Amino acid sequence: MSKTGRTTKGVTSQPLGVRLAPDEVLEVERYAKELERSRAWFLRFLILRGLADYKRELASKTQN
């Protein structure tokens, strides 16, 4: 797993509210704790990873 570094203060935009089911919150908290990271860091990591996967998927569809 690649490490997502800390973003420089003031670089990010406003916070985004995310609604999760209680079991999803527990799962996020568990993984964040295992990585010794905050929930916010872990959620940002997942979003960035998901965006990268989504972009790859879009690129492969345009090539077909």
Using one digit for the tens of pLDDT, what is the confidence trace for 28-50?
999 999 999 999 999 999 999 99
Residue 8 lies in a domain: no
Report yes or no on 31 lying in a domain. Answer: yes
Q: Is the pTM of this model over 0.85?
A: no
What does the pLDDT read at residue 6? Answer: 65
The answer to whether residue 9 sits within a structural domain is no
Tell me whether residue 46 is in a domain.
Answer: yes
Q: Angle at the Cα of 48 (from 19 to 3), degrees rounded to 5?
A: 115
Range of the domain at 57: 22-63
**Lowest mean pLDDT segment, chosen from 12-21, 28-37, 54-63:** 12-21
What average pLDDT score do residues 3-25 get? 79
pLDDT at 34: 98
